[in-house]
């Protein structure tokens, strides 16, 4: 079966060019970057060069890049690191949006439950938009940290992060603003200084790089409490032996994705528009989510009445189409999407979320075939539910 991968927001395949640059550090160059001998120095040189390359893509200083093991770890380091370092001095109030990735939202709730923070969760509108005014209105004298993601991982809705950062800093100049930009890298221009934020998270495996490596951009002058201590790597901000091959792959992927970003954006937008139109035509009642928001390229997202996401995804998988309900971290759980619920969708619709995300390998033929598979799967599920309901009523 020729499988159609429409889950590129969950992960992307490793690009051949990226693998080629990683291979020496998986085979012949085996030194620990903290060792002083020749192979250690070679590994250190590779890490330093990769940091410079990523900094060039982001338009920032290399010292502002902290390598982590994932985007989730970068988010946690931002939130926990700021709260632990600055909370006693500036206050323990944290503001996040209701549509954040669980790496932020659930971490903030955990910190509140543990008594380490007070939390305000800001809602969004029906199109998954969070306004700068609503975020700033929640900021007080004791607000130490604000986080609003740049591109929502479930709907692709783009937030006005620059406007949010400006409004928050105007309200309280000491509040630190973070954005999870994991889904933005490769889809939008991404320069942290231009956004006006203080911290920004990215990840390699969303841009055709390797899994297991991410980064946190930390504006120069912002101190963090390390959440992993020991060897003092990453300027004492994240102790652990660096993943040399992964970091080199991250740099290669970042350069490649920036080089092709504009051309790829046009192609992904056209493919998603084709899929949205086909699903709207072939699936009765299908709702296109976040339709009124600016949307990152590569996202076609729906709420399908009369089906449950986990059942639909299983049916699609059997027919060779790989999609998701939202975050890959949670898509195995048959729960209503917290993002769609925040957007005001009732649980029966939020439980029918479908996220299709295209990538470099996606073709128009893939889109047409996937739309047909989606329509057929929805029809079968609805027919089965209807038959079961009839049987029960008898």
Angle, vertex CA 7, rays to CA 4 and CA 8, nearest 5: 105
> What gap in Å lies between CA 83 and CA 295, rounded to an integer?
31
Active site residue 356: no
Which parts of the chain are beta strand (E)? Answer: 4-5, 65-68, 93-97, 118-122, 143-147, 176-180, 199-203, 214-218, 287-288, 299-303, 321-322, 353-357
* Annotated catalytic residue, options 60, 124, 329, 356: 329
Count CB-CB contacts under 10 A for residue 314.
13
| Cα distances (angstroms) measured from residue 217 to each of 84, 100, 380 | 18, 18, 47
- Count Cα atoms within 13 angstroms, Cβ side, for 375: 16
Nearest C-alpha neighbor of 154 from the set 364, 342, 348, 372 = 342
Count CB-CB contacts under 10 A for residue 47.
20
Q: Quick one: CA torsion of 358, 360, 366, 372, rounded to 10 degrees?
A: 0
* CB contact at 8 A, 237 and 51: no
Can you read off the two tokens belonging to residue 200?
Answer: 């920004």
Q: What secondary structure letter does DSSP report for 37?
A: S
Residues with catalytic function: 329
């Amino acid at each position: 079966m020729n499988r159609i991968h429409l889950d590129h927001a969950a992960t992307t395949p490793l690009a051949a060019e990226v693998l080629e640059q990683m291979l020496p550090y998986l085979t012949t160059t085996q030194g620990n970057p903290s060792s002083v001998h020749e192979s250690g120095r070679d590994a250190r040189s590779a890490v330093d060069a990769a940091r410079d390359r990523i900094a060039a893509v982001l338009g920032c200083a290399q010292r502002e890049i902290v390598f982590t093991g994932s985007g989730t770890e970068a988010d946690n380091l931002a939130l926990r690191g700021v709260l632990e370092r600055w909370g006693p001095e500036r206050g323990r109030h944290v503001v996040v949006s209701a549509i954040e990735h669980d790496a932020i939202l659930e971490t903030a709730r955990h910190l509140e439950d543990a008594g380490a923070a007070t939390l305000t969760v800001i809602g969004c509108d029906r199109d998954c938009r969070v306004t700068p005014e609503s975020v700033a209105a929640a900021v007080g004298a004791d607000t130490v940290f604000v986080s609003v993601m740049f591109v929502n991982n479930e709907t692709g809705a783009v937030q006005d992060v620059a406007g949010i950062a400006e409004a928050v800093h105007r309200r309280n100049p000491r509040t630190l603003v973070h954005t999870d930009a994991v889904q933005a890298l490769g889809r939008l221009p991404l320069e942290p200084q231009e956004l006006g934020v203080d911290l920004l998270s990215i990840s390699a495996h969303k841009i055709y790089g390797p899994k297991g490596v991410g980064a946190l951009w930390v504006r120069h002058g912002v101190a963090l409490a390390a959440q992993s201590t020991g060897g003092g790597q990453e300027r004492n901000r994240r102790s652990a032996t660096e993943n040399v091959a992964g970091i080199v792959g991250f740099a290669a992927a970042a350069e490649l994705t920036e080089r092709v970003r504009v051309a790829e954006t046009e192609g992904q937008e056209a493919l998603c528009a084709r899929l949205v139109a086909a699903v709207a035509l072939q699936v009765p009642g299908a709702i296109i989510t976040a339709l009124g928001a600016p949307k990152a390229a590569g996202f076609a997202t729906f709420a399908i009445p009369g089906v449950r996401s986990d059942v639909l995804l299983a049916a699609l998988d059997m027919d060779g189409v790989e999609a998701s309900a939202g975050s890959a971290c949670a898509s195995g759980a048959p729960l209503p999407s917290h993002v769609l619920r925040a957007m005001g969708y009732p649980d029966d619709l939020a439980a029918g979320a479908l996220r299709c995300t295209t990538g470099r390998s996606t073709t128009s033929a893939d889109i047409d075939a996937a739309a047909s598979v989606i329509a057929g799967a929805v029809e079968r599920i609805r027919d089965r539910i209807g038959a079961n309901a009839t049987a029960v009523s008898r």
